[in-house]
C-alpha cells in the first residue's frame, strides 16, 4: 500500500511539472506591458469618491427638504416607502437620508404587516463583499428604524448584494442607483 501511494505521488509530481506553462521570452521595450491599452482605456470607468459622496450625500431638492436629487428621481421601494442611498462602500446612513428614513419610519408605524428591508450594492467588489455590504446596509436601516420606535419583530432583512440592480448602464449615476436599501411589505 505504501508503494502505491509513493508511485502515485511521484506520477502526480511528474504530471504537474510536465503540464506547467513556461512564459515565452518577451523583450522589454520600456513601454506598457498591455498590448491593447487603447481598447482597455475606453472600457474603464473612473470613480471619484469625493464627487460620488457629494452627489449621494449633499444634493438637496428645490424645497430644501434634504432629499437628494437621486432619491427624488428614482425609487425602487414600494408600498409607500422610499429607497435610501449610500456612498461607495458605505453602510452608514448619511445626514441627508435622515428625512427619507423618517418618512419610512412613519409608513412602518402605520402598518401591521412585516417589512422586508433589502440591501443592494453596485457591481464593484466580490460577491461575498457585496453580500456582506448589502446586509450591513439593511441592518443599519433596521437598527435606525428600531431606535425610532418600529417593532423589530415586524422587520426582516435580506441582502441581494449586486444581484438585484435597478440599472445596468456603465455610468456613475447608474452605479449610485444600485447602492441602496429598498423597503416593501411582505406579501
Question: pLDDT tens-digit profile of 109-150?
Answer: 999 899 999 999 999 999 999 999 999 999 999 999 999 999
C-alpha atoms less than 13 angstroms from C-alpha of 164 in its C-beta half-sphere: 15
pLDDT above 80 for 3: no
Task: Answer yes or no: are the C-beta atoms of 75 and 85 closer than 8 Å.
Answer: no
Q: What is the average pLDDT score of the chain?
A: 73
pLDDT at 180 over 70: yes
CATH architecture classification, 64-185:
2-Layer Sandwich (3.30)
The more confident residue out of 55 and 86 is 86
Q: Is the alpha carbon torsion for 177, 141, 52, 37 positive or negative?
A: negative
Percent of the chain with pLDDT over 90: 48
Of 165, 67, 59, 151, residue with least CA distance to 119: 165
Amino acid at each position: 500500500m505504501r508503494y502505491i501511494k509513493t508511485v502515485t505521488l511521484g506520477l502526480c509530481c511528474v504530471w504537474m511539472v510536465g503540464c506547467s506553462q513556461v512564459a515565452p521570452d518577451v523583450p522589454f521595450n520600456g513601454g506598457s506591458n498591455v498590448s491593447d491599452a487603447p481598447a482597455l482605456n475606453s472600457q474603464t470607468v473612473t470613480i471619484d469618491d469625493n464627487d460620488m459622496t457629494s452627489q449621494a450625500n449633499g444634493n438637496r431638492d428645490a424645497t430644501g427638504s434634504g432629499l437628494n436629487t437621486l432619491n427624488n428621481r428614482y425609487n425602487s421601494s414600494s408600498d409607500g416607502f422610499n429607497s435610501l442611498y449610500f456612498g461607495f462602500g458605505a453602510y452608514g446612513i448619511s445626514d441627508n437620508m435622515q428625512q427619507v428614513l423618517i418618512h419610512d419610519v412613519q409608513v412602518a408605524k402605520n402598518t401591521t404587516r412585516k417589512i422586508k428591508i433589502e440591501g443592494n450594492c453596485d457591481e464593484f467588489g466580490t460577491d461575498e463583499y457585496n453580500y456582506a455590504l448589502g446586509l450591513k446596509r439593511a441592518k443599519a436601516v433596521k437598527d435606525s428604524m428600531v431606535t425610532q420606535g418600529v417593532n423589530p419583530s415586524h422587520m426582516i432583512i435580506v441582502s441581494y448584494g449586486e444581484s438585484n440592480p435597478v440599472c445596468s448602464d456603465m455610468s456613475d449615476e447608474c452605479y449610485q442607483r444600485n447602492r441602496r436599501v429598498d423597503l416593501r411589505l411582505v406579501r
